[in-house]
Structure 1
Amino acid sequence: MTVGRVVVVGAGPVGLTAALLLAHRGHEVQVLERRAEPSTLPRAVHLDAEAQRVLADAGVDFARISAPGAGLRLLDADHRVLAEFPRDPGAAGMFHQPDLEDLLRAALERSGAELVTGVEVRSVRRTRHGARVVTDRSELVADAVLGCDGARSTVARAVGPRPRRIARPDRWLVVDLLAEQPLPVWPGVHQVCGPGRAATFMPVAGLRYRAEFRLADGPVDLPAELARFGASSCEVVRAAEYTYGAQVARRWRSGRVLLCGDAAHLTPPFIGQGLGLGLRDAHQLAWKVDAVLAGAPDSLLDTHGAERAAHARSLVRLAALTGWLMTAGGPRAARLRRLVLRLLPRTLLAAGSPPLRRGPWVRRPRLGPAHGVGRLVPDVPLKRGRRLDDVLGPGWALLVCSTEVPVVPPLPGGARPRVLHRGALPDLGPALRDRWVLVRPDRVVAAVGPRA
């Protein structure tokens, strides 16, 4: 195994997760963070089941700090229910971001990776076989640099041009609340669909709650608005104005300098995919960097932007569209909205992750059904409380239907897949039934074979 030196810029959840995934693969990882102390400000509050699988692969027990999300309830201006979209158990988790960062930092310390805080990255320059990072303390040489340093990313400026805007920015007041006892509210996300005051209210975890109010609708009478949700007795922990962007990077890579998370994309909050998108970036990038450091051609890193940009654009557009449908327009739009939202497909608001586009390691057919290629392999339950992810291992896996092992293309970096016989596994669903399945290290189905 070849050990590489990787510098991760930014110690938010995306950067810490990327560092863990690379450290577990045996690389020397250093995380640089400009803040001297961990942030106490909650930002993300929701992760779907796909993003939770990334954390599990990084060795983090998300269930310790999260509460199940019940789904989404759409309300009119008088808080009457327009529509309700419940989530299946385990499909969504609500959490307090500082709790997640504490878990990730503890895991990083156990992994042997190094976290350096209070250091400012001033520039990143690609080199022939890596990059040079200049900080306010020293100059570092790395085999790869991952820019996970947020919306004002120094690394993104080094990678390329300004991002492509997908929708207009939107100003909201975000209010984090702490209750003395659980509030008697429905345990999911409440979305007020206007037309007078677009607002969002949700239980987070424990006694924490969040309320958000669109500022374009005029000044906010905070006590009155909180009272409408039955939260007037809560302590206001923080009230801050945020501008929600909707943009995706035009370039994700310059040599071995690569972008993840908010450095690569910003999304409106309406389908809860901001942090989830970043964790998916880190999951698929970690195995590619690992393969390149093991000898795979650098061209493998071209698939980072090719796969992630299209996926991010799909979800950012979906978030912007969903927000527009739920909150835009005046009284006439409100009457139309009542009809549209009753007919809106459940899958739109559930924001199921779209499949990755066809590419070198997403071998979807040009015509005909894709049979699950480009999507995550289902994490089906096994015996004794285990799940499929527990037996796939950290690398490639080949699920076969018989004792005859099919020939698969050579894998990046000389990797060898772990062979698992389907007879010992539960049914993976109709798309994958009776087929051999090649699973990437990020749990994405890379290819399938014909029925047995």
Structure 2
Amino acid sequence: MVSGPQGEVDVAIVGLGPIGATLAILLAQRGWRVAVVECRPQPYPLPRATSFDGQAARLLAGAGIGADLAGLSQPATGYQWLDARGRVLLDIVFASVGRYGWPDASTMHQPALEALLTRRLATFPNVRIWRGHEVVDLREDGDRVVVGTKGGDGAAHTVAARWVIGCDGANSFVRERLGVGVTDLGFSYDWLLCDVELAVERAFLPTNQQWCDPARPTTVVGSGPGRRRWEFMRLPGEGLDELRTSDAAWRLLEPHGVRPDNARLLRSATYTFRAMWADQWRDGRVLLAGDAAHLMPPFAGQGMCSGLRDAANLAWKLDLVLRGASAELLDTYTIERRAQVRQAIRESVKLGRVICVSDPDAAADRDAAILANSRCGPNRPEPAKPLAEGLLSRLPEGVAAARGDVVPQGRVCVGGHAGLFDDRVGRGFVLLTRDGVDAVPVVPGVDLIVARLAPGAVTDVDEVYSSYLAGFGAVAILVRPDHHVFGAVADLALVPALLEDLKRQLNAL
């Protein structure tokens, strides 16, 4: 058994959290040699993230663990924001089967998710995992990056990789070593986090709530089967030491019906959320992903989800580059993901400014303004944000409105077997058409799946795709491996031009 990193691999990933593990799987599935270096000798036993959305579930399914997600997660019913009097300020209802073929939102136990991803990684002979090894050095040497590590016994090891990805969290060594600056919006508050295991099953409707009570802003969310999380904001003038005791945790939990006789306190700890992103996500052959690249307040539940989108975006681009495409393709990773993350962070900050109010008068003004402008009835979650720039079609005759959108997912029937589109048709570059196409140009390095919506080919069981194309006035769309639309056309005669556009852009990089 190898005691520490050594030899050469195609990609070295620093950090074995959910983002590093997912990225490693997506690359291993494509046949690349991957090394994952993790400083912790054992998996972290406590949850951090508590949920993922439908798009993130779809991406996790793409890593081959979709069938096992139900064992560690539960669909969330909704997300309500309430004022101190219990009046609803914001009401979002989640569907059990949403736009992307999965629940709109699911609560989950993060250690179970990480264990599932690690078991999946163990099925690949081309993956090596080194736990208990701290990365202490990065050095580019020609077309390789030499990663220096130190084991728990103090022994030094190295592994050479064609590419290195820093997925090593908020205090990223990789980011610091690169000297990358960050943009910090300066929005941060201290909160007490209490993870609880309930002795008796209780119904929480809706699943997730924010209590916008200036006396103590409070978050109450599910965190997987049998578990809940309560978070309490530190009030002005309140010392952190006052909150860092189990007595303080039980005192704050008691009004919620949570006591030592009916629950087990798994953890109580204070944390400070931040709103920031790295200014540079790539330096030569080293890139950043996940919390190493961005941090955001928790109120939109998009921290881990954003990291999974990083992994999905980066994996297929690294695959093309490793096959011979220009390394400049990886610059579109930064362009695309940083723009989306900035938007997600700003939206999370906007929500945070609603809940993190401890002044009663300011809270009363806030409540009155929200209630005066609120719409009747519950809301549905918004679709995933489209890409506005990056590797997208520039075909003048294309359907511009579809470009960059995230394709929904429904059930289809192929070869007499029904199932979700990704499972039945396949994942990768997909050309989806309403009619047959006579000639499809070859794009070097791209394994294209051609799917025709027609009985006997791809039957649109839920009529998701027919209506989706019709909504844009398109007869064909070219979908990227991360489910974003590269481009769409309203005339089948333009399909070859659409493929040539992709080929031209890849060659031009």
Task: Using the TM superposition, give the Cα deviation of residue 373 of structure 1 relative to its aligned residue in structure 2, in angstroms.
Answer: 1.9
> Structure 1 residue aligned with 2:19, among 14, 19, 22?
14
1:94 and 2:107 are equivalent in the alignment? yes
Comparing 76-85 and 33-42, the one that deviates more:
76-85
Instruction: Classify the secondary structure of the residue corresponding to 2:133.
Output: coil
Q: Could you tell me how far apart the structure 2 residues matched to 1:375 and 1:127 are?
A: 39
Note if contact 1:326-1:337 (Cα within 8 Å) is conserved in structure 2.
no
The question of whether the paired residues in 2 share the 8 Å contact of 1:261 and 1:277 is answered with: yes
User: 397-406 vs 189-198, which deviates more?
Assistant: 397-406
Q: Is the alpha carbon distance of 1:364 and 1:344 closer, same or farther for their aligned partners in structure 2, counting shifts above 3 Å?
A: farther
In structure 2, the residue matched to 1:353 is 384
Q: Which residue of 1 aligns with 2:487?
A: 447
Query: Deviation per CA, 1:372-414, whole angstroms, max 9, x where unpaired?
Result: 3212211112245511111342321111222225766x74x52
Query: SS state of the match for residue 402, structure 2?
Result: coil
Decide which of 241, 258, 270 is 1:231's aligned counterpart.
258
What code does the residue aligned with 1:150 have? G
2:119 to 106, 131, 136: 106
CA distance in 2, matches of 1:283, 1:392: 18
In the alignment, structure 1 residue 308 sits paired with structure 2 residue 337: yes
> How far 1:365 moved relative to its partner?
8.0
Q: What is the deviation of 1:139?
A: 1.6
* Structure 2 Cα separation of the partners of residues 294 and 166 of structure 1: 39
CA distance in structure 1 between the aligned counterparts of 2:189 and 2:177, rounded to whole angstroms: 27
Task: Give 2:402's match in structure 1, choosing from 372, 382, 391.
Answer: 372
Q: Distance in 2 between matches of 1:222 and 1:372?
A: 49
| Residues 275, 347 of structure 1: alpha-carbon distance in 2 compared, 3 angstrom cutoff | farther
- Measure the CA separation in 2 of the matches of 1:349 and 1:328: 25
1:149-196 residue CA offsets vs partner (Å, 9 max, x unmatched): 001111112334221112422211111001111124324111011212
Q: Secondary structure at the match of 1:121?
A: strand
Cα distance, 1:255 vs. partner? Answer: 1.5
Q: What is the TM-score when the length of structure 1 is the normalising length?
A: 0.92
Instruction: Deviation per CA, 1:92-141: give whole Å up to 9, x if none.
Output: 01001000011001000012211110001002123432311111131211
CA distance in 1, matches of 2:308, 2:336: 14
CA contact (8 A) 1:4 1:293 kept: no
Of the structure 1 ranges 219-228 and 389-398, higher mean CA displacement relative to structure 2 is found in: 219-228
Taking the aligned partners of 1:347 and 1:156, their CA distance within structure 2 comes to: 41
Contact 1:126 1:254 in 2 (8 A): no
Give the alignment partner of residue 435 of structure 1, picking from 475, 479, 504.
475
Alignment partner, residue 143 of structure 1: 162
Query: Does structure 2 conserve the Cα–Cα contact (< 8 Å) formed by 1:271 and 1:350?
Result: no
Other-structure match for 1:195: 214
TM-score with structure 2 length normalisation? 0.82
Cα distance, 1:273 vs. partner?
0.3
Work out which of the residue numbers 307, 311, 322 in structure 1 matches 2:351: 322
Which amino acid in structure 2 is aligned with residue 382 of structure 1?
Answer: V
2:182 pairs, out of 153, 163, 167, with: 163
Amino acid at match of 1:289: L
Match of 1:120 among 121, 124, 134: 134
- 1:4-403 residue pairs with structure 2 within 5 A? 5-61=10-66, 62-89=69-96, 90-112=103-125, 113-136=127-150, 137-217=156-236, 218=238, 221-232=248-259, 233-328=262-357, 330-342=359-371, 343=373, 350=381, 352-359=383-390, 361-363=391-393, 370-383=400-413, 384-403=417-436
Matched residue SS, 1:270 = helix
Q: Does the residue aligned with 2:171 lie in a helix, a strand or coil?
A: coil
Contact 1:166 1:316 in 2 (8 A): no
* Separation (CA, whole Å) in 2 of partners of 1:372 and 1:48: 22
CA displacement, residues 229-284 of structure 1 (integer Å, 9 cap, x when unaligned): 22233211100111101101100001121111000000100000000000000011
Q: Is the 8 A contact 1:7 1:32 kept in 2?
A: yes
Q: How many Å separate the matches in 2 of 1:274 and 1:147?
A: 16
Q: Give the conservation status (yes or no) of the 8 Å contact 1:167–1:320.
A: no
Paired amino acid for 1:188: T
Larger Rg: 2
Shift of 1:4: 6.0
Shift of 1:357: 2.0
In structure 1, runs of 5+ residues without a counterpart are: none
In the TM superposition, what is the alpha-carbon distance from 1:309 to its structure 2 partner?
Answer: 0.5
Structure 1 residues 172, 381: closer, same or farther in 2, change over 3 A? same
Partners in 2 of 1:316 and 1:116 — Cα distance? 32
Q: What is the CA deviation profile of residues 359-382 of structure 1, one whole-angstrom value per residue up to 9, with x for unaligned ones?
A: 2x2237899974332122111122
Q: Which residue of 1 aligns with 2:99?
A: none
The residue matched to 2:267 in structure 1 has which SS? Answer: strand
Looking at structure 2, the residues matched to 236 and 351 of structure 1 have their Cα atoms a distance apart, in angstroms, of 34
**Count of aligned residue pairs for this structure pair:** 447
Separation of aligned partners in 2, 1:36 and 1:114: 15
1:370–1:328 CA distance, 2 compared to 1 (3 A) = farther
Q: Distance in 1 between matches of 2:76 and 2:473?
A: 30
C-alpha separation between the residues in 1 aligned to 2:434 and 2:488? 11
Equivalent position amino acid for 1:123 in 2: D
**Shift in alpha-carbon separation, 1:187–1:124, aligned structure 2, 3 A:** same
Consecutive unaligned residues in structure 2, runs of 5 or more: 1-7, 97-102, 151-155, 493-509
Deviation at 1:206, TM superposition (A): 1.8
